Amino acid sequence: MDTRDFAALEKREWDRADVAQAYARDFARAADMVVPRLVAGAGAVAGAKMLDLCCGHGNVSAGLVAAGAEVTGLDFSPAMLELARAAVPDAVFHEGDAMAPDFADGSFHGVTIGFGMPHVPDPPRVLHEARRVLRRGGRVAFSVWCGPEVEGAFGYVFGAIARHGDPSVQLPPGPGANDYADPARAFPALEEAGFSGCTCEVVASSWVTRDPGTPFDYFREGTARGGALLRPQPEAQRAAIRADVVAQVLAHHGNGPEWIVPIPAAVISAVAT
């Protein structure tokens, strides 16, 4: 699979300050709920040297710092790194490629990857690099949103796009957004990279909102993959997609006036052997 166009899309979208800020302000309300499990899964303790790959705006880095760890973050988006440096002054952040991090072998006690796996062209390569920079016995923990087979916002939004979206608006070939939430895919990739003791835990992350169209808005304004599908839609299709999302939220979660919209996440962790 040629993923160069996918890589360019991801870089272009996450380089946008408005997308980075919308993610940090809104979408990440659910991602924040996953941070404690990532911190624990990666074995962060006081004095541990931790690497936060695909660190984004720094919410996982902040959790690692709160655990007393010495934290280095890496991301390819200058817009995200600007937010991370402002939010987590006690961590050190670098711009770079999670598939080729410029750190020495065995430099870290633990590695976290908070929702970064779907945004890299070659996720197994990221796992190999995580193993390389980890000390033997160190831990990796990564999170991925569960797919549409698990009830929640991901299925509501992408199902509505499939039903109502302009078919000419397509993503370039790349990893599936939810591939590595599946232990059947994630565990063999971890083992091939040099990890053992793989575990998977589903976190019931969610958004609390007074607008049942919130999932549409959050994906459109604060994500790369969802935004690239939603922002170019003609007005009629965009309205139909949002109306479909509203209808699904009402059907599954009642008539409000407040809704808890699930967007569950899998947290997968393993030990470097």
Q: Compute the C-alpha angle 223/229/235, nearest 5°.
A: 115
**Contacts of 132 by beta carbon, 8 Å cutoff, 6+ apart:** 105
- Please write the tens of the pLDDT for every residue from 35-44: 999 999 999 9
Q: Angle formed by the axes of helices 214-222 and 235-253, to 10°? A: 130
Please, is 252 exposed, middle or buried when counting C-beta atoms within 10 Å of its C-beta (0-12, 13-18, 19+)?
A: middle
**Which CA distances in Å does 187 have to 98, 112, 263?**
19, 16, 22
251-261: average pLDDT: 97
Residue 96 has pLDDT above 60, yes or no: yes
Confidence grade of residue 3 (pLDDT, cut at 50, 70, 90): confident
Residue 1 has pLDDT above 80, yes or no: no
Confidence grade of residue 197 (pLDDT, cut at 50, 70, 90): very high
> Six-digit token pair at 42?
């990666």
Residue 65 has pLDDT above 60, yes or no: yes
> Does 145 or 4 have the greater pLDDT score?
145
Percent of the chain at pLDDT above 90? Answer: 99
**Which CA distances in Å does 246 have to 4, 22, 161, 243?**
35, 20, 13, 5
Cβ-based neighbour number of residue 26 at 10 Å: 16
Sheet strands (E) in 176-247: 195-203, 206-209
* The pLDDT value given to residue 71: 98
